Amino acid sequence: MQTNEEYLVPSLGKCTVQSPLNLSKELGDGVFNYVRDDERVLMDASLRHYNELIENHTTPISFEKGGPKEKIYFDPTKTKVAIVTCGGLCPGLNNVIRGLVMQLYNRYGVQRIIGIRYGYEGFIPKYGHEIIDLVPDEIEEIHMHGGSILGSSRGPQDSGEIVDALERMNINILFTIGGDGTLRGAQKITEEITRRNLKIAVAAVPKTIDNDINLIEKSFGFETAFTIAADILRGAHNEAKGAYNGIALVKLMGRDSGFIAANAALAVQEVNLVLVPEMNFELYGPQGLLKWLRKRLEAKHHVLIAVAEGAGQHLFTEDTHDKDASGNVKYKDIGMYLRDKIREEFDHQSFPYSMKYIDPSYIIRSAPANANDSLFCNILAQNAVHAAMAGRTGFVVGYWNSRFTLLPIPMTVKDRKRISLEGVLWNNVIETTGQPKKFCN
Amino acid sequence: MQTNEEYLVPSLGKCTVQSPLNLSKELGDGVFNYVRDDERVLMDASLRHYNELIENHTTPISFEKGGPKEKIYFDPTKTKVAIVTCGGLCPGLNNVIRGLVMQLYNRYGVQRIIGIRYGYEGFIPKYGHEIIDLVPDEIEEIHMHGGSILGSSRGPQDSGEIVDALERMNINILFTIGGDGTLRGAQKITEEITRRNLKIAVAAVPKTIDNDINLIEKSFGFETAFTIAADILRGAHNEAKGAYNGIALVKLMGRDSGFIAANAALAVQEVNLVLVPEMNFELYGPQGLLKWLRKRLEAKHHVLIAVAEGAGQHLFTEDTHDKDASGNVKYKDIGMYLRDKIREEFDHQSFPYSMKYIDPSYIIRSAPANANDSLFCNILAQNAVHAAMAGRTGFVVGYWNSRFTLLPIPMTVKDRKRISLEGVLWNNVIETTGQPKKFCN
Amino acid sequence: MQTNEEYLVPSLGKCTVQSPLNLSKELGDGVFNYVRDDERVLMDASLRHYNELIENHTTPISFEKGGPKEKIYFDPTKTKVAIVTCGGLCPGLNNVIRGLVMQLYNRYGVQRIIGIRYGYEGFIPKYGHEIIDLVPDEIEEIHMHGGSILGSSRGPQDSGEIVDALERMNINILFTIGGDGTLRGAQKITEEITRRNLKIAVAAVPKTIDNDINLIEKSFGFETAFTIAADILRGAHNEAKGAYNGIALVKLMGRDSGFIAANAALAVQEVNLVLVPEMNFELYGPQGLLKWLRKRLEAKHHVLIAVAEGAGQHLFTEDTHDKDASGNVKYKDIGMYLRDKIREEFDHQSFPYSMKYIDPSYIIRSAPANANDSLFCNILAQNAVHAAMAGRTGFVVGYWNSRFTLLPIPMTVKDRKRISLEGVLWNNVIETTGQPKKFCN
Amino acid sequence: MQTNEEYLVPSLGKCTVQSPLNLSKELGDGVFNYVRDDERVLMDASLRHYNELIENHTTPISFEKGGPKEKIYFDPTKTKVAIVTCGGLCPGLNNVIRGLVMQLYNRYGVQRIIGIRYGYEGFIPKYGHEIIDLVPDEIEEIHMHGGSILGSSRGPQDSGEIVDALERMNINILFTIGGDGTLRGAQKITEEITRRNLKIAVAAVPKTIDNDINLIEKSFGFETAFTIAADILRGAHNEAKGAYNGIALVKLMGRDSGFIAANAALAVQEVNLVLVPEMNFELYGPQGLLKWLRKRLEAKHHVLIAVAEGAGQHLFTEDTHDKDASGNVKYKDIGMYLRDKIREEFDHQSFPYSMKYIDPSYIIRSAPANANDSLFCNILAQNAVHAAMAGRTGFVVGYWNSRFTLLPIPMTVKDRKRISLEGVLWNNVIETTGQPKKFCN
């Protein structure tokens, strides 16, 4: 079977240990089957693409399908595992931690599982963070609570020091749960491990509340996030209507991609303007946002705006961009900026209004996962364990065309997933809000 | 382009009216594109299937992709539309109604939209149900509430009488929202319309809280349903642990398929036994359920059971099966049955226990849709409108491989979607609950 | 100060130990004051009653005010405490347990606290239930969950055996959390302790989800209960309106008093009929309930009924009354009865209707306490600890005229608190539902 | 009966119209009774106070009891009513509006009810706000949503112009729903009406999310507010623990009184520091807050702080105080201030920490009322209607010693209700958080 090289997940070596899962290899016996190594999911499931492939005799791009393997790489009784959570909080972190531990301990019989505290910092001696033993009995109820029992931190740490720590602690598998920066870090760790010729698997469960990781349809916590955002927009709508020319301006998460703002707006159906990082917009001029805003208020006397935190970066000058501890560009805050510019303009025009600015970021990030995300976290964790036990390394657990997949880390950090302004999601936003397609000078 | 005949959606005729949507036909202009007639989604997106197709030179099965068409069949200014909701309540009904009205009225400019009351009954003169005019202003907030503002009813009505009513009221498009029985009814209506050579489109939005419609990945309201079920299981877990040898038995929806029970159990992670219609199980004997139950209680002193309403039908004798008004087989109630058999057995054994039986059916059915279902309902409604305006008829709006699709009604009622006992979902249930793979005599 | 004898709380003896709480005795120093023994709350706070007292030179009835005492009876370092929860679940049980432990351990320094499992059964050797050590660190998060970590059971146990167990375990204070039957049990235990001349305090935290304990304005869990009941009524309203002549019949808790049904109905404002144990009503005859029901359906085509479980007992014949394990009269189930009688009547009349019967009892009982109940549980627990440490025994912690009180057990079990059909609550129900004041033959 | 003059509610004149409510005057007939004019509730229900009164032959302070009167002042068929909501949003506003309309329309038969838009502004011609007709059918579901369907505004308006408008529109009763400033405005309106010798009743339903109105035990929306605040604190706790030396700082409402912060902290039980306007605290010095904070972090590595917006005003210099549109002193923002001072200090000390600042004000204010507040709003509204129909004017509906009361406006605005630092609430806070009693230099 031909496959596009760059989509192949690296492997530590040949799998020779019989899986303890006791599954089946044949269909029809009523028992779940092991997944064969050549099971893959097509990237593009459209008929048009299929026909093009036929015509051009091209190999389609496909992703490895997740699932339990009959032969595994690590001997469970001799395996030691570390789990770390990095970056900002996201609903579902504790579900993933719990899912990993339960799967490792109860299904595979891996009994030595440790939790690294406060992100990658937890590996670095100078911080002095202690580790935690993770045992099923003690973590049974953590999925009901938000946050991460391991704690987290932002920013990279030296991959050499991390691998030193992995060696020192005799870790065989590292599960790292985090976003873009964390994945890049995981890739460096994988490379360092390879360089040292160690047999340590690095498995990543991608965490992005913004749902913006490349080649991954949906990330855990995202649904919970836009669900809570929708509730908050509903309240903000009350605030907007509760005052004459009431402006409710809600800043939502979304550094590079506006999925939360777009989805929440569609769930609520009462947002009048959605601003996302993917679009350009001008504030001033006859077709500018502020002109539109005034017209809207004159007509309806209230407006509800959802703005993704990364929107409108073009409004700031280049040199004001610096980076935060994780190396992300530290955007100027569009929320506050917009609030102040609107105030400035309407005060100048002596136009009466009432501004309510709402920033629910931490309220959303710290919430427990909803039922669907809980379910999803659990299966992500199971697939991460299956793959890591089978010696896969430097990989990310994904979801594509309704199936769980495995991707090499580099493919997932090459780019961000973004809202296509020509796509159906954004078209729905435009139609639901009734906002203009463009705000130009 | 070759396509499998039976998956083609019927059409009323050639589309000659320019769509009022004002979308684009080319990529890259930043405006959403009309969907071409030949855009289709592959049924099987696995690489293995792809390779088989190549090898065998077979045409793959594919489904029409939903979306707005450049040329439509009906002239919006002359179009009159009817909407009807049938069968039991399901979260999201009002969202779908609202979505249809908003899309028809605001995007296409169709201003004559009526609501048929109390399901197909509303068409039949002898019931005397009045119709309702559906206007955006008056239905703006209905999506925040559960139920259906149109009301519903179960059971079929004469398709001849229904088409009589459609003719009498000069309806051009009928949107019918309902389950298996409703879809069969819609198919009969479509056939009667064809017989009479009328130009009336019949569009179905499939409603099944059980998520069991064939070839449709997910149906609206299902996620809300298992979310609430999960909450109820959490409480039931407290009841089970709150008494010595406490048994909490929760009957959940699921006549033919146990998706709600399985998903809710996975979301909660504390259910000890899930019983679904797809599995057989015996109560008595050394490997029977009751023996297992006693052992479980002796070991842990509590047990939480989720049983789908359609499970264990094999335990009842054939002749006790009759049908309800909708023609569904009226199952004996496994919940009550199980409760009574457990009581009987343990009373007989003088084994102490405390039984709590919980049947939350109506509480779940009558809830408002959660954020994700709200979003989903809206897009389903939009796609139903796009397709119906383009003269598609006898079709169901579906969802497959993460895309919205259109299917001919007959393909969706040929069979039920069921949990595969060899699939990953059921394997997860088995692993999470720790329940035996089989209960035999 | 003169006080009505029967309202005095018994005491184990003179308090000679200095409280470790380090509070103040004087106003104005910014530190909370110890409560003096003569601080009491008037039963009747109306001016009219005041004037009558003046005129008749009568001593007003008053209740002891709860709070910390300067001198206490038990030496914290030598005190051992037992906690037991009895009867059905009620939101807030874990909050009370946690509140007791935290107050005893953190404020008073009592470190030996044990939990008795499964109600009074836990004292009786033949059941073999183990005890639990209650330590702050391990119970820190229990208040976020419903149920009782101790478990519970119904029914009385021999008070002699219970006191044997208390002696054997060297318990100094028993905290018992339960309803009417549990309080009667606590009184018997108190009497047995007195008979044996032991120095063991018995403190009761009254638990009645029905809010029906005499001389106590509000009991923990009640607000949470009617809050959830209100949500369920809201859904039931959707069910009622979702079908032609839809009848939604919701059975709520309330054996002797209909407070939950009445309060939930007032919170929701859409219930059309509330039936409570305090009222009589006839089903048949021209002024009967069934006649009214038919008229209501003919006029509005839907009806929402909330019935308290203890309503309509007069409809059953005397001899069918037996008692449950707790000695409560085991009422015939009015919910099912009413459902069947309505069906019978309307089927007989060939009157079309759709019946939805909802019994959410366990769903409500097993829920976690809401914020206000959490707060309330905590203060109840604190007051129970203050009083018990001060050697008060045979008492119940109450709430009256917005203050926390202490009552001798016998006064609280003499009678039930009931809705007055002449009172403002019932008048509000009548006005809100629009139901007739009477249903007679 | 003697009564303290200043607690008497003013009256427009003799009541001669028979109430249409059809209630009873005698006990025992099973029908709710009219309330007599001399029914009053004692302010102080303690036995100690009672004995002092007896000793000193003093008249006790008492408040008029709310309720329906047999004779009323206004003839319902000729009565026209206006309703206005003022100040910031508060959960329950729509419940009160609905309650007023339903009671007026359905019980008293008053059919002309108008809503004034955007607070007192709605009376003033220059703003040009239109009025709304309030009819039961159209407002039936408003209580399910937060906000105010009438809208609101802050700040006083000329009472002369308001009375001009009342005269012009032939209003007989004005219901005004608002806080301290609104009540002062209502008093001025009442006085202007008296001056002009008009027969217009002014009835106030007090709105203070802070629960700080004098002589009123509990105000609507307050419980909902601290309930949501408790949820937010729970999430903030996750944020605090999610980072090394994590500081979660939550600013809650409470300009003059810290009831929301205190109650929410007690409901959650995990807050480590509560700062309220009633207390003084110093930031610097060996006993200062910052020193304590560092020690706390060194010991536990996380801290959760709830600060009421009006706390720490003494930290700002006098001259920075200006007033907002409502005439309230516009406090410097303690939240931001504290956040910046902590950052400054720990940055200076090179002490690692992670700060999360959360300001959920609008999220709380715009929420719908919970069940208990819904109930409460309804009864407040009913009592306001009863009293106004009976010609009472210049009054506030209150709640005291578990009864609904009527108070003359001036008594309620003389002072604020505040947390007593010597009282049981604050002592509970101190004990639950474990925070020091004082932070001094």
Is 80 exceeded by the pLDDT of residue D435?
yes
d(CA B109, CA B102) in angstroms, rounded, equals 9
Partnered with residue B248 across adjacent β-strands are B304, B356
Partners of B141 on chain D (C-beta within 8 Å) are: 141, 145
pLDDT at B192: 98
Inter-chain residue contact C147 with B363, CB threshold 8 Å: no
On chain C, the residues whose CB falls within 8 A of the CB of B365 are 239
Beta-carbon contacts of residue D402 (< 8 Å; ≥ 6 apart) = C217, C401, C402
Mean pLDDT over A169-194 rounds to 98
Confidence of residue B4 (pLDDT cuts 50, 70, 90): confident
Question: Nearest to residue D84, comparing CAs of D144, D153, D147, D140?
Answer: D153
Mean pLDDT of A54-66: 92
Across the range C393-408, mean pLDDT stands at: 97
Q: Which residues contact A195 (CB under 8 A, 6 or more apart)?
A: none
In order, the DSSP letters of D303-345 are: EEEEEETTTTGGGS-GGG-EE-TTS-EE---HHHHHHHHHHHH
Among candidate residues A210, A212, A256, A373, the one labeled active-site is A210
Say what the pLDDT of residue A326 is.
67
Q: Which residues 382-411 of A have a C-beta within 8 angstroms of B?
A: 382, 401-403
Chains that touch B (3 or more CB pairs under 8 A): A, C, D
Say yes or no to pLDDT of B1 above 70: no
Q: Exposure string (b/e) for A163-174, b if CB count within 10 Å is 16 or more?
A: bbbbeeeebbbb
Q: Measured between CB atoms, does C428 come within 8 Å of chain D?
A: yes
pLDDT category of residue D318 using cuts at 50, 70 and 90:
low
Residue A370 near chain D (CB below 8 Å) = no
| Distance of alpha carbon B254 from alpha carbon B277, whole angstroms | 8
Q: Is D111 exposed, middle or buried (0-12, 13-18, 19+ CB in 10 A)?
A: middle
Q: Chain-wide mean pLDDT for chain D? A: 94
**Closest CA–CA distance from residue D139 to any residue of chain B (Å):** 13
The pLDDT assigned to B220 comes to: 98
Say how far apart CA A161 and CA A120 lie, in whole Å.
Answer: 10
Architecture of domain C222-365+421-433: 3-Layer(aba) Sandwich (3.40)
User: CA B266, CA C290: separation in Å to the nearest integer?
Assistant: 44
Q: Write down the pLDDT at residue B331.
A: 65
- Tokens for B64? 């029409």
User: D384-398: per-residue pLDDT in tens?
Assistant: 999 999 999 999 999
Residue D315 neighbours by CB distance under 10 Å: 15
Torsion angle defined by CA atoms of residues C23, C26, C31 and C33, in that order, rounded to the nearest 10 degrees: 50
CATH fold for the domain made of B222-366+421-433? Rossmann fold (3.40.50)
Between chains, do B145 and D144 touch, taking CB under 8 Å as contact?
A: yes
Report pLDDT for A325: 66
Mean residue pLDDT of chain C comes to 94
Domain with CATH 3.40.50.460 in chain B: 222-366+421-433
The mean per-residue pLDDT over the stretch A37-58 comes to 92
Chains A, B: CB pairs < 8 Å: 168
pLDDT higher than 80, residue C327:
no
pLDDT band per the 50, 70, 90 thresholds, residue D325? low
From CA A262, how far away is CA A275, in angstroms rounded? 9
Pairing of strands B71-72, B17-18: antiparallel
Which amino acid is residue D276, in one-letter code? V
* Predicted confidence (pLDDT) per residue in B65-102, tens digit: 999 999 999 999 999 999 999 999 999 999 999 999 99
B149 interface with D at CB cutoff 8 Å: no
Chain C (1-60) residues lying within 8 Å, Cβ to Cβ, of chain A = none
D408 CA: distance to closest CA in chain B (Å): 40
Q: What is the largest CA-CA distance in chain A?
A: 77
Instruction: Kindly tell me if the per-residue pLDDT of A332 is higher than 80.
Output: no
At residue C325, the pLDDT reads 66
Tokens of C218: 């509000």
Catalytic residues of C: 210
Query: In this predicted structure, which of A330-344, B407-421, C122-136, D75-89 has the lowest mean pLDDT?
Result: A330-344
Task: Give contacts of B238 with chain C, Cβ < 8 Å.
Answer: 89, 145-147, 366
Between β-strands D322-323 and D329-330, what pairing exists: parallel, antiparallel or unpaired?
antiparallel
Q: Which CATH class is domain C63-219+367-413?
A: alpha beta
The pLDDT tens digits of the residues spanning A310-329 come to 999 988 865 445 566 666 66
Is the CB of residue C144 less than 8 Å away from at least one CB of chain A?
A: yes
B145 part of contact set with chain D, CB < 8 Å: yes
- Of D146, D151, D153, nearest to A235 by CB-CB distance is D146
Select the residue of D145, D239, D362 nearest A362 (Cβ to Cβ).
D239
- Identify which of B152, B235, B242 has the shortest CB distance to residue C243: B152
Delimit the CATH 3.40.50.460 region(s) of chain C: 222-365+421-433
Put simply, the answer to whether A118 touches D243 (Cβ < 8 Å) is yes
Task: State the smallest CA–CA distance between residue D412 and chain B in angstroms.
Answer: 38
In the structure, what pLDDT confidence band is assigned to residue C36 with cuts at 50, 70 and 90? Answer: very high
**CB-based contact A98 B23, cutoff 8 Å:** no
The distance of A122 to chain D (nearest Cα, Å) reads: 10
Structure tokens at C126: 């033949």
CATH 3.40.50.450 residue ranges in chain A? 63-219+368-413
The Cα B268–Cα A252 span in angstroms is 28
Rounded distance between C-alpha atoms, residue C135 and residue D184, angstroms? 52
The CA distance from A303 to A355, in Å, is 10
What is the ipTM, given to two decimal places? Answer: 0.94
Give B248-290 pLDDT, tens digit per residue.
999 999 999 999 999 999 999 999 999 999 999 999 999 999 9
> Which chain C residue shows the shortest CA-CA distance from D262?
C375
Nearest Cα residue to A425 out of B401, B96, B382: B382
Query: A66 and A40 in contact (C-beta within 8 Å)?
Result: no
CATH class of segment(s) D225-366+421-433: alpha beta
CB C306 within 8 A of CB C250: yes
Mutate which of D94, D137, D138, D141 to test chain B, going by most B C-beta atoms within 10 A? D141
CA-CA distance, B373 to A267, in Å (whole number)?
A: 8
Query: How confident is the model over B308-331, as pLDDT tens digits?
Result: 999 999 888 654 455 666 666 666
- Is the pLDDT score of D329 beyond 70? no
Interface test with B, best of A19, A32, A304 (most B CBs within 10 A): A32
Domain B63-219+369-413, CATH number (from 1.10.1060.10, 3.30.365.10, 3.40.190.10, 3.40.50.450)? 3.40.50.450
Other CB atoms within 10 A of residue D418 CB: 16
Is D324 an annotated catalytic residue? no
The yes-or-no verdict on residue D319 having pLDDT over 60 is no
Strands D132-133 and D112-116: antiparallel
What digits encode the pLDDT tens for the residues D209-252?
999 999 999 999 999 999 999 999 999 999 999 999 999 999 99
- The confidence score (pLDDT) of residue D328 equals 65
Say which of A403, A422, A437 has its CB closest to residue B27.
A422
Which pLDDT score, from 0 to 100, does residue A318 have?
54
What's the whole-number average pLDDT of chain A?
94
Could you give the angle at the alpha carbon of A253 between the alpha carbons of A251 and A259, nearest 5°?
Answer: 110
**Active-site entry in D37, D158, D180, D210:** D210
Q: Do C241 and B153 touch (CB under 8 A)?
A: no
User: Between D322 and D339, whose confidence is greater?
Assistant: D339
Q: What is the pLDDT of residues D86-104, one digit of tens each?
A: 999 999 999 999 999 999 9
> For residue range C49-63, what is the model confidence (pLDDT) as tens digits?
999 998 998 889 999
Which residues, 6+ apart, have CB-to-CB distance to D10 below 8 Å?
A: D190, D392, D393, D394, D395, D408
Q: Which pLDDT belongs to residue A328?
A: 66
Q: Using one digit for the tens of pLDDT, what is the confidence trace for A266-310? A: 999 999 999 999 999 999 999 999 999 999 999 999 999 999 999
pLDDT of residue D321: 52
Strand partners, A175: A83, A203
Q: List CB contacts (< 8 A) between D235 and chain A.
A: 146, 362-363, 366-367
Give the model's pLDDT for residue A321: 52
Report residue C220 CA to chain centroid gap: 6
Give the separation between CA D190 and CA D180, rounded to whole angstroms. 15
Cβ of A40 and B48 within 8 Å? yes
Report chain C residues whose CB lies below 8 A from the CB of B233: none
Burial status of residue D131 (CB atoms within 10 A of its CB: 0-12, 13-18, 19 or more): middle
Residue type for position B173: I
**Three-state SS for A66?**
coil
pTM over 0.90: yes
What sign has the CA pseudo-torsion B278, B283, B284, B285?
positive
Cβ partners under 8 Å of residue C348, min gap 6: none
**What's residue A27's pLDDT?**
86
* For range C181-205, the mean pLDDT: 98
Beta carbons of C422 and D33 less than 8 Å apart = yes
Residues within 8 A of B (CB atoms), A 197-256 only: 217, 223, 226-227, 230-231
Map tokens 């202490």 to a residue: C406
Cross-chain Cβ contact C243/B121 below 8 Å: no
Query: In terms of pLDDT, which residue wins out, D425 or C1?
Result: D425
pLDDT at C332: 74
pLDDT of residue C99: 97
| pLDDT score of C324 more than 70 | no
pLDDT of res. C323: 62
* Shortest alpha-carbon distance between residue B168 and chain A (Å): 33
Give the separation between CA B282 and CA C344, rounded to whole angstroms.
Answer: 36
Residue type at position B118 = Y
CATH topology of domain A63-219+368-413: Rossmann fold (3.40.50)
Buried b (16+ CB within 10 A) or exposed e, A115-145: bbbbbbbbbbeebebeebebeeeebeebbbb
- What's the pLDDT at B292? 98
* Nearest residue to C145 (alpha-carbon basis) of C369, C360, C381, C364: C369
CB contact under 8 A, B243 and C148: no
d(CA C270, CA C432): 8
Secondary structure class of A152 (helix, strand, coil):
strand
Option in B237, B243, B360 nearest C363 (CB): B360
Amino acid (1-letter code) at residue B176: T
Contact C238 B359 (CB under 8 A): no
Is residue D340 within 8 A of residue D307, CB to CB? The reply is: no
Note whether A221 and A376 are within 8 A (CB).
Answer: no
For residue C91, pLDDT beyond 70: yes
Residue C80 backbone zone (phi > 0: left; psi -120 to 50: alpha; other: beta): beta
The residues facing B152 across adjacent strands are C243
D141 in B contact zone (CB under 8 Å): yes
How many Å lie between the alpha carbon of C385 and the closest alpha carbon of chain A?
Answer: 29
Asked whether D17 and D71 are in contact (CB, 8 A), the reply is yes
Three-state secondary structure string covering B307-362: EECCCCHHHCCHHHCEECCCCCEECCCHHHHHHHHHHHHHHHCCCCCEEEEECCHH
> With an 8 Å Cβ cutoff, is C367 touching chain B?
yes
**Out of A29, A47, A374, whose CB is closest to B42?**
A47
Assess whether pLDDT exceeds 60 at residue C213. Answer: yes
pLDDT beyond 80 at D3? no
D132 three-state secondary structure = strand
Burial B7-35 (b: 16+ CB within 10 A, else e): bebebbeebebebebebeeeeeeebbbbb
At A4, the pLDDT band (50, 70, 90 cuts) reads confident
Q: Which residue has the higher pLDDT, B232 or B327?
A: B232
CB A182 within 8 A of CB A121: no
Stretch(es) of chain B classified as CATH 3.40.50.450: 63-219+369-413
Query: Distance of CA C199 to CAs C74, C186, C192, Å?
Result: 10, 15, 11
In eight-state DSSP terms, residue C296 is H
* Nearest-neighbour CA in chain C from D33: distance (Å): 7
Contact yes or no for D71/D390 (Cβ under 8 A): yes
D-chain residues near C40 (CB < 8 A): 46-48
A contacts of D353 (beta carbons < 8 Å): none
| Longest CA span, chain C | 77
Residue where the block lists tokens 């030193």: A164
CB contact under 8 A, C223 and D372: yes
Active site members of B: 210
Alpha carbons B409 and A232: distance in angstroms, whole number: 39
